[in-house]
């Protein structure tokens, strides 16, 4: 283990509240001088989607996945008390009132703090997501790259 | 990394079964001489609520959250097979039959073993939870304090 | 901490996609020469069930649990977009098209790579699962054995 502190997060979840928790921990760790990696896989990949509809040639199935999954964290539901979308509105209202950062703002801050945001290429293939549909300045890698980072650190979370 | 072993758990989930798993691991680790911290954030904070209704001045939104969220682990649903509350009853019945500790008992044991139970102050602000509504002998802190503990250990879980 | 690298996963979840993620990380880590342990507890234990109905004397409650819970990963739903079972079919269709390994194949690979698959005996007692109902070459242990492995490594995940 190197002296440099390191935090890695596998962001598997596609719930607004869990993505928020992941990015709060990641930004905190970066502020603490950790090298931080967030490996976005499965539903967590949706946090990196741009919110516009980008035309990419896709199979029928890929189009279906593309439509059903949220474009960016702001469109996500929450893991508890979602109440058909009313829950996220309540959460966002109280966050606004407390001047808390939204998830898109937390992602922006993560990029400013040079947190490594990685999109899982295996999931992209499976769900038919294309690099042009994701935010800029993302890295693309597989589970081997995640493990290479994780084994150098000790704060390794699966969210 | 120090020689002293350390386990930290971010308890994000508000499901009875996940809270139970968190406290079983935490109590096990404490019995193994680890220093243990459970950082209760988001829905996991509800595990620390007293089960009575405590009068505190709140905004309308805070009252709503207060009513909708369970007061203590015993009121929580389970993450799978909840069946409109029938699942938790089944689980609690078999636990009783096997003389397994309930979650409130596991929390008590954790306090006896001097496991550090921390309530996330940011979540408390957001959801309008007050210190008088939570169990006694809880610490109050933010993500920085969690990271300070986590970076000293290697068994760091997000539940 | 020893020089030998080590990954441990507490597999709590009983969702097809989460079990898949756990086994992909585990197999990746084994390929990277980590010693790997997957500790199957609660709903994650169902990943280890054989898919046939095995006659074992059980109480009424244990029979109920036995029927309600999936026999093996292949029968599991997914954590998001399950759509009454349509989601898993879509996921399996795209996996097949991309020649991705199914979860039963990933489990087989894990056994070939000598990943330690452990069934949580406390959960087995609670839910009334019997060793003859689970796959061969599984180890049986409790939380103490999990912690003994986890404290030797630094990639420790709860899924």
Question: Domain range for residue B145?
Answer: 6-158
Q: Kindly write down the DSSP assignment for every residue of A13-68, as one continuous string.
A: ---HHHHHHHHHHHHHHHHTT-EEEEEE-GGGGGGGB-SS-------HHHHHHHHH
Q: What is the ipTM of this complex?
A: 0.94
pLDDT digits (tens, 9 = 90+) for C40-78: 999 999 999 999 888 899 998 899 889 889 999 999 999
pLDDT digits (tens, 9 = 90+) for A101-142: 999 999 999 999 999 999 999 999 999 999 999 999 999 999
Using CB atoms, list chains with 3+ pairs below 8 Å to chain C: A, B
pLDDT digits (tens, 9 = 90+) for C108-146: 999 999 999 999 999 999 999 999 999 999 999 999 999
Question: Is residue C67 situated within a structural domain?
Answer: yes
CATH of the domain at C96: 3.40.1260.10
Do C127 and B94 count as a contact with CB atoms less than 8 A apart?
yes
pLDDT at residue C97 greater than cutoff 80: yes
- pLDDT at position A3, please? 64
Question: Is residue A145 situated within a structural domain?
Answer: yes
Question: Is residue A1 situated within a structural domain?
Answer: no
Task: Give percent of chain C with pLDDT exceeding 70.
Answer: 98
Question: Is residue C1 situated within a structural domain?
Answer: no
- Could you tell me which residues come within 8 angstroms of residue C32 by beta carbon, excluding any fewer than 6 positions away? A144, A147, A148, A151, C5
**A105: its two tokens:** 């703002």
- pLDDT at position C53, please? 86
Question: Is residue B22 situated within a structural domain?
Answer: yes
Question: Is residue B1 situated within a structural domain?
Answer: no
Among B154, B157, B158, B159, most C C-beta atoms within 10 A, so best to mutate, is B154
Question: Is residue B89 situated within a structural domain?
Answer: yes
Among A9, A155, A157, most B C-beta atoms within 10 A, so best to mutate, is A155
Domains in chain A: how many in total?
A: 1
Task: Using 50 as the pLDDT threshold, list the residues of chain A that sit under it.
Answer: 1-2
Do C61 and B94 count as a contact with CB atoms less than 8 A apart?
yes
Closest residue on chain C to B5 (Cα): C151
Task: Using 50 as the pLDDT threshold, list the residues of chain B that sit under it.
Answer: 1-2
Question: Is residue C144 situated within a structural domain?
Answer: yes
């Amino acid at each position: 283990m190197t002296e440099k502190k390191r935090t890695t997060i596998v962001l598997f979840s596609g719930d607004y509240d869990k993505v928020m928790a992941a990015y709060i921990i990641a930004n905190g760790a970066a502020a603490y001088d950790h090298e931080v990696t967030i490996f976005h896989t499965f539903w967590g990949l949706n946090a990196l989607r741009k919110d516009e509809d980008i035309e990419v040639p896709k199979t029928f199935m890929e189009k279906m996945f593309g439509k059903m999954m949220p474009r960016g964290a702001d469109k996500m539901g929450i893991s508890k008390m979602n109440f058909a979308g009313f829950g996220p509105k309540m959460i966002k209202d109280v966050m606004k009132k407390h001047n808390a950062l939204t998830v898109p703002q937390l992602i922006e801050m993560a990029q400013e703090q040079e947190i490594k945001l990685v999109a899982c290429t295996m999931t992209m293939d499976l769900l038919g997501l294309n690099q042009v549909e994701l935010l800029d300045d993302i890295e693309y890698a597989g589970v081997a790259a995640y493990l290479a980072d994780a084994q150098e650190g000790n704060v390794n979370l699966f969210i």
